[in-house]
Amino acid sequence: MSTTFADRTATGRHQGVPPGGARAHPGAVLAAIAAGALAVLALWWADTPGVVGLDGALTGAGRITGLLAGYALAVLLALMARVPALERGVGSDRLARWHSMGGRYTVGLCVAHTLLITWGYAVTDATNVVGETVTLNLSYPDVLKATVAVLLLVGVGVVSARAVRPRMRYETWFHLHFYTYLAAYLAFGHQLATGEQFQGSRLAQAAWYALYIGVAVVLLWYRFLTPLRQSFRHRLRVGEVVREGPGVVSVYVTGRRLDRLRAEPGQFFRWRFLTRELWWSANPYSLSAAPRHDRLRITVKDLGDQSRQIARLRPGTRVLAEGPYGAFTPARRRGREVLLIAGGVGITPLRALFESIPAAPGDLTLLYRARNAEDLAFRSELEAIAVHRGAALHYSVGPRDRIGEPFTAETLTALVPHLTRHDVYVCGPAGMTRDVIAALRAAGVHRRRVHHESFEF
């Protein structure tokens, strides 16, 4: 396949990056989650001397699924609590995937618990499932609360389904997820009030209180209080809005002692601009330049009402920022040579990495794909960085029906000598990212050297 990669290569020097904070290893996090699940199963085992008959089997299975559902719900909330060590070590996109997968398991466990426990009680009482359902919900207030919690979780699961999610505005989908907090509150009361394993066991009750209160404190601190604290501490305001290209603007955010945020190139914040149109929505945008002690920059493409309003921001507008988040940083690299592959607005985090990731002259390459020359954001900046750092810069411009597939194993191997020795950072549309990763694997690049992060959550 032919491509239109144009080369801009020169010599220069490189800069360093600020150190980040603590990072949790993904394997350690999964091990801790698994250990908690085993502890929950041990709680049921220790309190269940034996299982006899169909009613005992159904009730026992219902209690197991209920305990696991309650534990999984707390884990789901903790994964998305924006804990810095998790965000830096695991990565926001991986946390989002775990959260999504875990959400499906949690909803399944909740539904299974409801059906199994109701069926088991119906067998015990020698009645039908429908009659037992009515009796449980009308006779036990905490059961009715649990039913509402299950319905809320099922509703959140439906709006998060792949067939539904793309049809919803990001802001609507985001705010509907807050019903998960209400579901957790309702389910927590039900578990302690009616859960067999918590009756008469102060140790089990204390452990469950510690789990849920701990998660609640973490959520309150990192998702709500920290953005307010950072805003007042750093006095974040819009400094300037600059047009970068058709439908693309950069927003410069100024403030005091921004180096204390410990942001790294490749990371993103959730930005809330305090205007009448934007104050209620916090959207994720990557840093498009290496962070400075007095200024941060993001770059936004016009993709809807919210991003269009950002282009109209006025200097002096107050800003709330959650973050920094993400593990798409120089810390992921394993070797000396680095390849950056960007598509469209995916250039934003890679622009920051291109400027600052440590690399000697000749060890850094950027491939940038765009539909036409007008869509090449930061073109003059990128070319200046290439000259300054001795990096290679290649463009691929034009529609696919004219230039062919821009990223193939053969093309990448020809453009980048010693490709398999490179750490590769990929950011762009989902389809392009999948194609690039497949091409890199076909070219022999080890999967641990391929780094990508989705911001569609």
Asked whether 325 and 451 are in contact (CB, 8 A), the reply is: no
Which H or E run includes 200? none
Indicate left, alpha or beta for 286 from its phi (over 0: left) and psi (-120 to 50: alpha): beta
Instruction: Give me 354's structure tokens.
Output: 């291109």
d(CA 130, CA 119): 9
- Look at residue 430 in the predicted model and tell me its pLDDT: 84
Pairing mode of beta strands 268-273, 319-325: antiparallel
Long-range contacts of 115-121 (CB under 8 A, 24+ apart): 115/62, 116/58, 116/59, 116/61, 116/62, 116/65, 117/58, 117/59, 117/62, 117/63, 117/66, 118/62, 119/58, 119/62, 120/55, 120/56, 120/57, 120/58, 120/59, 120/60, 120/61, 120/62, 121/55, 121/59
Both structure tokens of 49: 């001397």
Q: Answer for the pair 269, 284: CB distance below 8 angstroms, yes or no.
A: yes
Beta bridge pairs of residue 338: 364, 423
Name which of 28, 102, 110, 105 is nearest 67 in CA terms.
110
Report the pLDDT averaged over residues 54-76: 93
Region 201-229: mean pLDDT is 92
- Is pLDDT at 1 greater than 50 in this prediction? no
CATH architecture of the domain 235-325 equals Beta Barrel (2.40)
Give the residue-averaged pLDDT of 309-316: 92
Q: Is 267 exposed, middle or buried (0-12, 13-18, 19+ CB in 10 A)?
A: buried
Q: Which residue from 286, 301, 291, 297 is spatially nearest to 239, judged by alpha carbons?
A: 297
Q: Are 408 and 16 in contact (CB under 8 A)?
A: no
CA 63 to each of CA 107, 116, 198: distance values in angstroms, whole numbers, following the listed order: 15, 8, 11
d(CA 144, CA 190): 9
In this prediction, residues 151-176 reach a mean pLDDT of 81
Taking the C-alpha atoms of residue 1 and residue 50, their distance in angstroms, rounded to an integer, is 67
Q: Report percent pLDDT > 90 for the chain.
A: 53
Tell me how crowded residue 316 is: count the other CB atoms within 10 A of its CB. Answer: 9
387: closest CA among 17, 13, 28, 130? Answer: 13
CA 368 from centroid of its chain's CA atoms: 24
pTM: 0.78
Helix axes 141-159, 129-139, angle to 10 degrees: 110
How is the chain split among helix, strand and coil, in percent rounded to 5?
Answer: 55, 15, 30
pLDDT band at 194 (very low <50, low <70, confident <90, very high): confident
In Å, what is the CA distance from 122 to each residue of 125, 129, 179, 195? 5, 6, 30, 17
- Mode of pairing for the β-strands spanning 248-254 and 283-286: unpaired
Cα–Cα distance, 326 to 455 (Å, whole number): 9
Domain locations in the chain as residue ranges: 5-17+329-452, 26-221, 235-325
pLDDT at 285 over 80: yes
Instruction: Give the CA distances from residue 153 to residues 102, 143, 167, 193, 341, in Å, rounded to whole numbers and listed in that order.
Output: 12, 15, 19, 20, 38
| Higher per-residue confidence, 96 vs 33 | 33
The confidence score (pLDDT) of residue 20 equals 55
Q: What is the pLDDT of residues 335-374, one digit of tens each?
A: 999 999 999 889 999 999 999 999 999 999 999 998 888 8
Q: What is the pLDDT of residues 84-141, one digit of tens each?
A: 889 888 888 888 889 989 999 999 999 999 999 999 989 998 889 999 899 888 887 7
**Residue whose C-alpha is closest to residue 385's, from 355, 342, 341:** 355
Task: Classify residue 186 as exposed, middle or buried by CB count within 10 Å of its CB (0-12, 13-18, 19+).
Answer: buried
Mean pLDDT of the residues in the chain: 87
CA gap 367, 341 in Å, rounded: 5
In order of 110, 133, 151, 199, 430, the CA distances from 137 in angstroms are 16, 6, 13, 20, 45
E strands in 128-282: 237-245, 248-254, 268-273
Fold classification of 5-17+329-452 (topology level): Rossmann fold (3.40.50)
Classified as helix, coil or strand, 301 is strand
Contact 412, 406 (CB under 8 A): no
As to burial, measured by CB atoms within 10 angstroms (0-12 exposed, 13-18 middle, 19+ buried), residue 280 is: exposed
